[in-house]
Structure 1
Amino acid sequence: MLNTRHPVIVIGAGQSGLAAAHALRGARLPFFVMEASDEAVGSWPRYYDSLALFSPAWFSALPGARFPGDGGRYPRRDEVVAYLRAYAERFNGEVRYGRRVESVKTAPGGGFTVRTEDGSEDEASAVIAANGYFGNPYRPELPGATEFAGTVLHSSEYRTPDAFEGQRVVVVGGGNSAMQIAADLAGVARVSLASRAPLRWQAQRIAGKDLHWWLTRTGIDSAPIGRWLGGKSMPIIDDGRYRAALESGNPDHRKLFSRLHEDGVEWPGGEREHLDAIVLATGYRPDMGYLAGTGALDAEGLPLQRAGISTTVRGLGYVGLEYQRNNASASVRGVGRDAAYVVGKLRRQRGRP
C-alpha cells in the first residue's frame, strides 16, 4: 500500500497536468502540481503562430469546462492558451509555479521523493508525469547535416514565415504539423515537403460532419487501442486546402533527400539544388529524464508503461503520452479520459476503493 499521508505530485501544469488535477480533485485525493514556468499553459505559447487545432472547439475541451465561443470552429493557438489559463484558475492553490523537477527517487517504504532545481524536496505517495514532449524535440540524423551551412531548425523553434522570405526551404516530415508549416511558408518561400513515406490523408468532414464527430459517435476516439496505434504515422487531416496547395506546386512533395551538401540538397536520383533552410517537423520524444535511476524508463528514455501506469514502478503514472490508451491520448480532447483512468488505478494502489 502506498503512503496515504503524502499527496500525489503531478509534474507539469499543461493540458495533461490540469486534467490530472481535475481527476485527483474528483477522487478526493490530496495533490499538488509542480510547474517549471510561471503559468499553467504548457507548451502552447511556444508553438508556431499559425497553428490551429484539427478538432472543433466542441471536441477540444478539458473535463468540466466547455471551450468558449462557436463550437464548430477550429481554435487557434492563442485561443487554446487563453482557455488553459482560465481552466487553471480553479487550481490556483494547488499549482506550484517555478518548480522545475530535477529528479524523482523511490522511497524505501513506498512513495517518492521529488527534488526540484532549487534544491527543495517533497514526499509523494504517488507521482503523475504529465510534462509532455515539447522539451525534447526529435532531430533525426540526416546525411551531410554537419556539412550544411544553411539554417536548420526544429518545428519547436519555428514561429512565422517572415524570416524565410524569398528562400528555398525544405520541411522534413509527413504529418499535420509538417503540412501546416509547409503551407505557411509557401506564402513567402519556395517550399518542398520531404518525407520517407507517402503522405496519408484523412478528410476533415465526412457526410457533412467533422471527422471528430464520427470518431466520438463510433467510440473509436476513446477505444483503448493505443498499443496497436503506436509507431504508425497519422494521416494529414485536410478540408481540401492542403492537397490543393500541393497541386499548385508550392509546396510540392518529394521523397526525402539523399544527403545535404554545404550549400544545397541532393535528391534521390542525383538532382542537386541550392537550399537555404530546413525545418524539421519530426516530432518529439518524452521529456522525463528526471525519472532516470528509478527503473521507470527503457534504454532510450521511453516510459515502461501500459495505459499510463508504470509496469516497473508502483505508484507512478503518466498522462499525455502519445497513444497511451487511444488515438486521442496526447490531445486536449483525450487527456481527461486518460487522467481519470490513471487516477483510478493509482487510487486503488493507495488501498482505497
Structure 2
Amino acid sequence: MNDHDVIIVGGGQAGLAAAHAARAQGLTPVILEAGAEPVGSWPRYYDSLTLFSPARYSGLPGLPFPGDPEHYPHRDEVVDYLRRYARCLGTEILTGHRVDAVTRTDGAFTVHATGETALTAPVVIAASGGFSRPYRPALSGLDTFTGSVLHSSEYRNPEPFAGQRVVVVGAGNSAVQIAAELAVHARVTLANRAPVKFAPQRPFGKDVHFWSAAVGFDHLPIGHLLKKPLPSPVNDPGFYKATISQGQPDQRRVFTTADGDTVTWPDGTRERVDTILLATGFRPGLSYLDGLGALAADGRPSQDRGLSTTHAGLGYVGLEWQRSFASATLRGVGRDAHYVLRKLTGNRVGTGKRRCRPIG
C-alpha cells in the first residue's frame, strides 16, 4: 500500500503549486523539502532582488500576491508570501528531507531521503526547481584564475566589492541588475557573447506582463516545440540601458581566456581583474532521478510538457520553458502544475485522508 497519492520533491513555488493542484483533485500529497522551510531558493538570492513582474502577475493559484497589484515585489516579500501559501495549503510538508534517490517497483515509486524513512506513491512530481543548480560555463582559464570566482547565487550585495575590478559574465536580467548595482561601488564590465537586448518594462504605460497576458503569449504551450529555450530580453524599467550606454558598467564581449589574475579581451588587451562573477543561470537539480534512468546525458529530464517520457507516473513542475514562456515563474507554475497532475492522475480518486480547503 502506498503512503501517499502524490510525493512532491521540493517545497518552493513549483512544489507548492503542485500540492495545490493535487489537493484540487482530492488527492493526498506530501511535500519533501530539503531546507528548513518551504520557500525554495528565494532567501538565498541577492539582497536587492526585485521581481520584474508586478504583484498582479506574481501569485500562485488561489492566493493573490498582497499589496498594490502594480508594485514590483522585493525578494523578502516573495519569501513571506510563500510562507503564507504553505500554511494555508493544508498539505503535509516535511522539511529537512533531502531526497537522494527515487526507485520504482511494481508501478510504485519509493522516494529515499537522507536519514529518513522511505515513502511510496504511484505519482512523483519533481519540483526541486529549474534554478537549483548554478551553471558555470567552461570559460578558458577560469579554473586557474587566482582572483575570486563566484556565481550570482553566491552574491548578496555590493559592499564586499568596493574599489575592485569586477567582470560580470551574463546577459540576462540578473546579470544586468547585479552589474548596474556593483558599478556604483566598483569598476565593472558586463561581459557577454552577444550584446544585451532590452525591452521596456512598461510599454504604453502598462507592464509588459499585461501585454503578454493580453495576447496570450504567457499561456502559449510551445515549450515542447523548442530545441532550446528562447533567450529573453532584459526588462528595462528605464535606466539599465542608459547606464550601460554611459559605461557604468561598460559592456564588452566575454574575455577569451583568464591567466592568473589577468583576463585577455578579444582585442588582445590584458587586464588585471579582482573578481569574475558568473551570472550565467541555473540548471535543474534532479540528480536524485539519475539512478532511475529518467535523465538525459546532460542531466536534463527526459520529458514532454512536464510528463516523463521514461516513466509513467513521473512528472515535473517548474522547468524553464516546460510548456510556455512563464513555466518557471510564479505566475506560470500553477498552470503547468494543474496540467501535469491532470495528465498523470486523470479522474483517479484520492484516499480522502486529506481534503482540499479553499486558500485565501
Name which of structure 1's ranges 223-232 and 18-27 shifts more when overlaid on structure 2.
223-232
Match for residue 288 of structure 1 among 286, 290, 295: 286
3-state SS of the aligned residue for 2:332? helix
Match for residue 150 of structure 2 among 138, 147, 153: 153
After the TM superposition, which residues 76-225 of structure 1 pair with which residues of structure 2 at under 5 Å, given as runs?
76-91=74-89, 93-107=91-105, 109-225=106-222
After the TM superposition, which residues 300-339 of structure 1 pair with which residues of structure 2 at under 5 Å, given as runs?
300-339=298-337
- The AA in structure 2 aligned to 1:188 is H
Indicate conservation of the 8 Å contact 1:4/1:350, yes or no. no
2:288 and 2:347 map into 1 onto residues whose CA distance is 22
Name which of structure 1's ranges 223-232 and 158-167 shifts more when overlaid on structure 2.
223-232
2:15 and 2:334 map into 1 onto residues whose CA distance is 10
How many residues align? The count is: 349
> What are the ranges of 5 or more consecutive residues in structure 2 without an aligned counterpart?
351-360
1:325 and 1:134 map into 2 onto residues whose CA distance is 16
Measured after TM superposition, the shift of residue 228 of structure 1 is: 4.0
* Identical aligned residues as a percent: 55
Report what 1:57 is aligned to. Answer: 55
Cα offsets for 1:185-225 (capped at 9, x unmatched): 11100001001122112111121111000111111111101
Normalised by the length of structure 2, the TM-score is 0.94
Indicate conservation of the 8 Å contact 1:315/1:349, yes or no. no
1:219 and 1:188 map into 2 onto residues whose CA distance is 41
2:84 and 2:29 map into 1 onto residues whose CA distance is 20
Cα offsets for 1:296-342 (capped at 9, x unmatched): 11111110000000011100000000000000000001000000000
2:252 and 2:164 map into 1 onto residues whose CA distance is 18
Matched, 1:234 2:232: yes
1:177 and 1:65 map into 2 onto residues whose CA distance is 27
- The AA in structure 1 aligned to 2:240 is Y
Indicate conservation of the 8 Å contact 2:321/2:327, yes or no. yes
Measured after TM superposition, the shift of residue 42 of structure 1 is: 0.3
Measured after TM superposition, the shift of residue 255 of structure 1 is: 0.5
Match for residue 20 of structure 1 among 18, 41, 57: 18
Report what 2:250 is aligned to. Answer: 252
3-state SS of the aligned residue for 2:177? helix
- The AA in structure 1 aligned to 2:233 is P
Indicate conservation of the 8 Å contact 2:141/2:259, yes or no. yes
1:45 and 1:333 map into 2 onto residues whose CA distance is 19
1:5 and 1:233 map into 2 onto residues whose CA distance is 41
Indicate conservation of the 8 Å contact 1:16/1:131, yes or no. yes
1:44 and 1:6 map into 2 onto residues whose CA distance is 28
3-state SS of the aligned residue for 2:210? helix
Normalised by the length of structure 1, the TM-score is 0.96
2:186 and 2:170 map into 1 onto residues whose CA distance is 18
Indicate conservation of the 8 Å contact 1:134/1:156, yes or no. no
3-state SS of the aligned residue for 2:218? helix
Name which of structure 1's ranges 240-249 and 226-235 shifts more when overlaid on structure 2.
226-235
2:194 and 2:234 map into 1 onto residues whose CA distance is 13
> What are the ranges of 5 or more consecutive residues in structure 1 without an aligned counterpart?
none
Q: CA RMSD in A?
A: 1.6
- The AA in structure 1 aligned to 2:78 is V
Report what 2:70 is aligned to. Answer: 72
Cα offsets for 1:113-136 (capped at 9, x unmatched): 111101421111100000114441
